[in-house]
Amino acid sequence: MPHCIAFLRAINVGGRTVKMDALKAQFEALGLTNVSTFIASGNVVFETRARDLATLEQKIEKQLHGAFGFEVHTFIRSMAELSAIATCRPFDAGELAAAPTFVVGFMAAPLDAARQKIVKGFNNDLDAFHVLGRELYWMSRHKQGESKFSNAAFERALGLRATFRGVNTLQRIVALQAP
């Protein structure tokens, strides 16, 4: 069975506290196996026989909404996809090495041309962005909190949901799953 990871939006932020054991139990209730969580920010690794991961995302969202009482947008990637995402370097190597912030935003689908144009408009002296498939790569030349860009700003501007993770976190997840 393929290993996958679900990146959950809005877990353990804004007063939406979820214990990792409870989260794991909800995934297991869906018949997913070898379920584990990685840090308490909504990263759930599991195995599944499901072939249609978009449908599985919807099932997980429905399960979590029923269990916890709030929307939890879910973005699933295979471990092979995550490995490629975690090693992708779409920015100048020197700038990236000096940047304190390198983050990946996960989306449900690739952006259309109009939304890609909006993302290009986010680029400035502080922040650089690159869209590749269903991911948005964000490099900031300052600390993340010093940027005017945020998950909320992204969602407002594009009218869609996303969740962001630091590349270091992604690399750690991949390393833990290596045989």
CATH number of the domain that residue 121 is part of: 3.30.70
Question: Where in the sequence is the domain holding 112, given as residue range(s)?
Answer: 87-166
Strand-pairing partners, residue 103, are: 138, 166
Tell me the Ramachandran region of residue 89: left when phi exceeds 0, alpha when psi lies from -120 to 50, beta otherwise: beta
Give the per-residue pLDDT at 12: 81
| One domain for residues 101 and 77 | no
| One domain for residues 67 and 7 | yes
Tokens of 64: 């979590």
Q: Judge whether 46 lies within some domain.
A: yes
Among residues 33, 64, 81, which one ends one of the domains?
81
Among residues 53, 81, 109, which one ends one of the domains?
81
Q: Which residue has the higher pLDDT, 85 or 2?
A: 85
In this prediction, residue 139 has a pLDDT band, given cuts at 50, 70 and 90, of: very high
**What is the three-state SS of 73-121?**
CEEEEEHHHHHHHHHCCCCCHHHHHHCCEEEEEECCCCCCHHHHHHHHC
Give the per-residue pLDDT at 41: 85
Give the per-residue pLDDT at 179: 66
Give the per-residue pLDDT at 172: 95
| One domain for residues 65 and 103 | no
Give the per-residue pLDDT at 110: 97
